């Protein structure tokens, strides 16, 4: 056995060739480094761009629906809370929703004390957004009437509200016994 050395007397590193079996997935000639080509990267970026473009309308619709649901929930809960306050305190209360400011004020009728204006979500239009005040009279027995501030001989039906946002519409109706129902139109 002869050992070859270079001029400095250092032996070069030995190279081994390992024979692969016939079922091996890599061949002996596949010695290139694994990676992606520019064409593969461009195709992946194009697919990602298409998927992102397809998701934008879905995200916009979802966000609009969430804003609408938030506003409807805020309006419905404000009516229910004021009704329960009237029942708890055995007193007549009014709830006045001012449009287009999208605020509401609860007033104790017997003491004529009003709460500070509470904002509703500004992203929606209530009954078309025209300047108006929608008043609910909430009685100690749980009944609800329209404007008037009295529970006896009040023939005013509770106002119906139409909440719209970005081509979505939900109707809010309050029955005279205080049930708040919402109906999604589109």
> Per-residue pLDDT averaged across 69-92, rounded?
93
d(CA 132, CA 155): 20
- Where b means 16+ CB within 10 Å and e means fewer, 65-88 reads eebbeebbebbbebbeebbebbbe
Q: Above 90 in pLDDT, residue 105?
A: yes
Q: How does the average pLDDT of the chain come out, rounded?
A: 85
Q: Where are the alpha helices (DSSP H) in 35-185?
A: 38-89
> Per-residue pLDDT averaged across 104-130, rounded?
90
Domains and CATH numbers, the chain: 65-184 (3.55.40)
**Mean pLDDT comparison of 10-14, 65-69, 133-137, highest-scoring range:** 133-137
- Burial group, residue 127, by CB count within 10 angstroms (0-12, 13-18, 19+): middle
Q: Above 70 in pLDDT, residue 138?
A: yes
Instruction: State the pLDDT at residue 130.
Output: 86
Comparing 28-37, 91-100, 153-162, the range with the smallest average pLDDT is 28-37
Q: Is 75 left (phi over 0), alpha (psi -120 to 50) or beta?
A: alpha
């Amino acid at each position: 056995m002869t050992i070859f050395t270079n001029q400095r007397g250092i032996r070069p590193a030995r190279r081994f060739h390992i024979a692969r079996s016939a079922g091996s997935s890599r061949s002996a000639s596949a010695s290139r480094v694994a990676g992606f080509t520019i064409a593969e990267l461009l195709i992946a970026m194009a697919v990602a761009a298409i998927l992102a473009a397809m998701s934008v309308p879905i995200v916009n619709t979802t966000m609009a629906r969430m804003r609408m649901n938030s506003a409807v929930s805020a309006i419905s809960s404000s009516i229910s809370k004021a009704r329960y306050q009237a029942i708890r305190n055995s007193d007549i209360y009014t709830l006045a929703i001012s449009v287009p400011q999208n605020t509401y004020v609860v007033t104790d009728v017997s003491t004529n004390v009003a709460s500070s204006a509470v904002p509703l979500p500004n992203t929606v239009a209530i009954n078309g957004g025209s300047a108006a005040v929608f008043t609910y009279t909430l009685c100690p027995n749980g009944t609800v009437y329209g404007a008037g501030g009295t529970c006896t001989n009040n023939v005013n039906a509770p106002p119906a509200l139409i909440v719209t946002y970005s081509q979505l519409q939900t109707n809010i109706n309050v029955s005279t016994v205080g049930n708040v129902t919402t109906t999604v139109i589109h």
